[in-house]
């Protein structure tokens, strides 16, 4: 199914058309940098990635399902459920006498395991019972939301180990004045001296997963099967692909990434609540579409989805840094979304 | 195509590295950033106090975008973007979580910016304790919420003849101010042997939810005689529930915060008691202490507590009281 679209061409408009999203990001960065000097810095780049982590992860969650021609409406509340489950588990592990480090690790591992369940159910409903993805995942949205509310009783979780916040808000590497390099913990320096923090932990961890699944989608047989299913499900069945099993896998991966987003939220904000990801669903879907995937399935890549999510993240942070109301983001994302679809119709093989 | 991306990325990185940092020229004047907690009349009133004081002292003011809902996931990205933009010497902030704001605020403090928290705090709000991870702000300026809750309980008890069941409609237990109000109210009611607090609900700042929860409480305990709503949204929601249940007059309602709606409801007799905080004064005091610290290095008290005013239908038209209405 994957035609080699990147054949050498000297046709400039077509090249721009296919890469417009990257070009658009360069223009955005140039615009914000011209308006405010403060925008153009390594710290801003890191801030954009740090603030965007959850949306990046949810966008990848959505991508795997959208490639198959489906949609997963439950990712926001699966994420919320993961924030509640993981934070409650952390508190429980600490109460049982585990050290903060092992509590966080154990709670995260268990949460990722439980987090597979909504995906399994979604995938099973879609693949075996032929429930439309919209309905199956919409029901799952309600179920996960309700369970989280029951668990929290309206009270966001608290009293998490302080280490969680240190990890979530810390960076991988620090360079103190004088060139002293340290890892994971910020060196003590006189106040007012700048310590260069390099790559937030949450960004590092998230992109480990994102790269792994970019490889799976782009290079492995399973990835090719997903495109085939989204491109033409009957042809996929005839060619001997185990469509039902692969569909379930796609929804499970979606759930996994939603849970990862939940963990990221908990580590950053040291609390969990049912509606933590409620307003991120539409941003995630928008990122996938801006990244050139078709809602009809069969196309989309991890790299371009990240670029799509990056557009939204740059807009949000950029507008704030230049001191504009972020309500502008809603309008701009809406306009870009329409543009993305129109441009993709003019250059139809941009994203295969 | 991959090559092209890498090339663009590499050029960007090089540019980031070589463009020198301009600005930071001679500072003429102090600049403060005001970071409100959520879009509501309380913080807009506070902004007025901040604005007036800044003007009086010749301080530049940046007002951050108002978060559209209460919570660190809304406030922190806004705060970090303004911190990245920089250009301010002092920060007045109403933190939306006692834990989640510690790390972002510490990062701002480490840059050399002085911080005062207004209305809400981080940690337990006692910045004088040594060896904590939250003792770096100069001061906490806000109401003694516990005392306010207790005083509300006492005033409400008087209105209902010191007997009967009462209910509390609160907002968000993660907000230090609200949790303390509830605790104060609980302890205040406990002073009266013939009174009982039958329930506390949390509406998370959603007025509709407050209305539904109050209605449910009224169905469970039909003989509730008093309700305390702990902030603008929860009080307005509780009011609406009582109006809808046709119980206006039979239930005495105490409300926190002198919003125009609460004051009008008081005039109409829908509610009976309103506690007014002094958000304008909090903002004004915050600016004043930041200014004094940055210009004269005076030592700032770790806790500054403006008092309360109580509105009842007897004094609501008193000209001296009008200044305490949030508008």
Task: Tell me, yes or no, if B86 comes closer than 8 A to chain A by beta carbon.
Answer: yes
B223 touches chain A (CB under 8 A): no
Q: Which of B85, B134, B172, B199 to mutate to test the interface with A (most CBs of A within 10 A)?
A: B85
Whole-angstrom distance, CA of residue A336 vs CA of residue A342: 10
A42 contact residues in B (CB cutoff 8 A): 16-17
- C-alpha B253/C-alpha B266 separation (Å) is 9
Nearest by CB: A155 against B22, B102, B173: B173
- For B196, residues 6+ apart whose C-beta sits below 8 A from its C-beta are B164, B165, B166, B189
Q: What is the pLDDT of residue B113?
A: 95
Q: What is the pTM of this model?
A: 0.83
Average pLDDT over residues B106-128: 92
Nearest alpha carbon to residue A268 among A43, A53, A94, A42: A53
Instruction: Please answer yes or no on whether B16 and A40 come within 8 Å at the CB atom.
Output: yes
pLDDT for res B28: 65
Least trusted range by pLDDT, from A8-12, B47-51, B189-193, B274-278: A8-12
3-state SS class at B33: strand
Distance from CA of B8 to the nearest CA of A (A): 8
Q: What angle, 0 to 180 degrees and rounded to 10, lies between the N-to-C axes of helices A75-95 and A100-114?
A: 140
Query: Which residues of B fall within a CB distance of 8 Å from A14?
Result: none
Residues within 8 A of B (CB atoms), A 149-168 only: 154-156, 158, 160, 162, 165-166, 168
- Whether A306 has a pLDDT exceeding 90, the answer reads yes
| Ranges of each domain in chain B | 29-143+279-306, 145-276
- Annotate B193-262 with DSSP letters as a single string: TTEEEEEEEE-TT-HHHHHHHHHHHHHH-TTEEEEEE-SHHHHHHHHHHHHHTT-BTTBEEEEES-BHHH
- How many Cβ atoms sit within 10 Å of the Cβ of residue A183? 10
Q: Which residue of A has its CA nearest to B102?
A: A165
pLDDT bracket for residue B73 (50, 70, 90):
confident
Structure confidence by residue, pLDDT tens digits, B9-49 = 666 666 665 554 444 444 568 999 999 999 988 999 999 99
Of B104, B101, B43, B93, give the one whose Cα is nearest residue B68: B43
Chain A segment 59-78 residues within 8 A of B by beta carbon are none
Interface ipTM above 0.95: no
Q: How far apart are CA A132 and CA A121, in angstroms?
A: 13
In terms of CATH architecture, what is B145-276? Answer: 3-Layer(aba) Sandwich (3.40)
Closest CB to B84 among A47, A155, A303: A47
Question: What pLDDT is stored for residue A9 in this prediction?
Answer: 53
Interface-testing mutation among A149, A174, A269, A317, with chain B (most B C-beta atoms within 10 A): A269
Please check the confidence at residue A124 and state whether its pLDDT lies above 80: yes
Asked if B202 and A36 come within 8 Å (Cβ–Cβ), the reply is: no
Distance of CA B310 to the CA centre of its chain: 18
Supply the pLDDT for residue A155.
77
φ and ψ at residue A334, rounded to 5 degrees: -60, -45
Task: Indicate the CATH number for domain A17-346.
Answer: 1.10.3470
Beta bridge partners of B90: B32, B114
Task: For chain B, give the mean pLDDT.
Answer: 88
* Contact B20/A at CB under 8 A: no
Percent of chain A with pLDDT over 90: 66
Q: What is the pLDDT of residue B3?
A: 63
Q: What CATH number is given for B29-143+279-306 in this structure?
A: 3.40.50.2300
Which residue in B109, B61, B106 sits closest to B88, CA to CA?
B61
Residue range B247-261: average pLDDT? 87
Here the tokens at position B287 are 């600016």
pLDDT at A349: 58
d(CA A35, CA B15): 16
Give the pLDDT mean for A140-145. Answer: 96
A/B interface, count of CB pairs below 8 Å = 107
* B72 interface with A at CB cutoff 8 Å: yes
**Rg (chain A; Cα; Å):** 21
Q: Which residues of A touch B99 (CB under 8 A)?
A: 158, 160, 165, 270-271
- Which carries the bigger pLDDT value, residue B179 or residue A287? A287
pLDDT of residue B249: 81
Q: Per residue in A13-46, pLDDT tens? A: 777 777 788 889 999 999 999 988 888 888 899 9
């Amino acid at each position: 199914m994957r035609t080699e679209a990147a054949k050498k061409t000297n046709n400039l408009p077509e090249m721009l058309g296919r890469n417009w999203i990257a070009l658009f990001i360069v223009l955005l960065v140039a615009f914000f940098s011209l308006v405010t000097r403060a925008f153009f810095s390594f710290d801003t780049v890191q801030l954009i990635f740090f603030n965007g982590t959850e949306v990046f992860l949810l966008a990848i969650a959505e991508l795997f399902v959208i490639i198959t021609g489906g949609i997963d409406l439950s990712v926001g509340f699966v994420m919320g459920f993961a924030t509640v489950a993981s934070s409650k588990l952390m508190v429980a592990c600490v109460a049982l006498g585990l050290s903060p480090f092992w509590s966080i690790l154990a709670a995260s591992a268990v949460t990722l395991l439980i987090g597979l369940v909504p995906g399994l159910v979604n995938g099973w409903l879609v693949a075996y019972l032929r429930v439309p993805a919209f309905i199956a995942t919409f029901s799952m949205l309600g179920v996960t939301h309700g369970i989280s509310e029951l668990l929290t009783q309206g009270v966001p979780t608290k009293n998490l180990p302080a280490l969680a916040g240190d990890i979530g808000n810390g960076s991988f590497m620090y360079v103190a004045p004088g060139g002293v390099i340290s890892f994971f913990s910020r060196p003590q320096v006189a106040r007012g001296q700048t310590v260069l923090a390099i790559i937030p932990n949450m960004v590092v961890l998230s992109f480990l997963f994102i790269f792994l699944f970019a490889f799976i989608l782009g290079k492995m047989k399973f990835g090719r099967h997903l495109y085939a299913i989204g491109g033409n499900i009957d042809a996929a069945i005839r060619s001997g692909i185990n469509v039902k099993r692969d569909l379930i896998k796609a929804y499970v991966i979606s759930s996994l990434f939603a849970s990862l987003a939940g963990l990221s939220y908990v580590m950053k904000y040291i609390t969990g609540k049912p509606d933590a990801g409620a307003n991120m669903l539409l941003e995630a879907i928008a990122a996938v579409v801006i990244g050139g995937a078709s809602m009809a399935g069969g196309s989309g890549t991890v790299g371009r989805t990240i670029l799509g999510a990056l557009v939204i993240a740059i807009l949000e942070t950029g507008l704030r840094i230049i001191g504009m109301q972020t309500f502008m983001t809603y309008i701009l994302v809406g306009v870009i979304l329409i543009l993305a679809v129109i441009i993709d119709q003019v250059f139809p093989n941009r994203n295969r | 195509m991959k090559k092209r991306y890498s090339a663009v990325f590499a050029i960007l990185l090089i540019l980031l590295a070589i463009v020198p940092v301009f600005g930071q020229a001679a500072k003429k004047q102090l600049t403060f950033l005001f970071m409100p907690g959520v879009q509501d009349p309380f913080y807009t009133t506070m902004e007025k106090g901040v604005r007036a004081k800044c003007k009086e002292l010749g301080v530049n003011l940046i007002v951050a975008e108002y978060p559209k809902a209460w919570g660190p996931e809304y406030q922190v990205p806004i705060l970090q973007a303004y911190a990245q933009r920089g250009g301010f010497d002092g920060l007045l902030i109403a933190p939306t979580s006692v834990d989640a704001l510690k790390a972002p605020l510490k990062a701002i403090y480490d840059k050399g910016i002085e911080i005062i928290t207004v209305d809400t705090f981080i940690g337990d709000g006692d910045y004088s304790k040594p060896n904590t991870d939250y003792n770096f702000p100069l001061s906490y300026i806000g109401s003694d919420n516990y005392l306010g809750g207790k005083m509300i309980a006492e005033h409400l008890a008087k209105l209902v003849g010191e007997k009967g069941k009462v209910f509390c409609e609160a907002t968000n237990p993660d907000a230090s101010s609200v949790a303390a109000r509830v605790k104060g109210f609980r302890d205040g009611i406990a002073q009266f042997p013939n009174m009982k607090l039958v329930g506390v609900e949390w509406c998370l700042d959603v007025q509709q939810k407050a209305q539904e929860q109050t209605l449910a409480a009224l169905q469970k305990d039909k003989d509730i005689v008093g309700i305390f709503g702990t902030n603008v949204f929860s009080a307005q929601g509780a009011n609406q529930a009582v109006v809808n249940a046709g119980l206006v007059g039979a239930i005495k309602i105490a409300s926190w915060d002198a919003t125009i709606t609460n004051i009008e409801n008081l005039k109409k007799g829908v509610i009976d008691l309103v506690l007014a905080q002094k958000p304008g004064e909090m903002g004004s005091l915050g600016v004043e202490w930041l200014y004094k610290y940055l210009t004269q290095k005076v030592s700032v008290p770790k806790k500054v507590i403006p008092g309360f005013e109580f509105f009842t239908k007897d004094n609501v038209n008193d000209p001296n009281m009008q200044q305490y209405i949030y508008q």
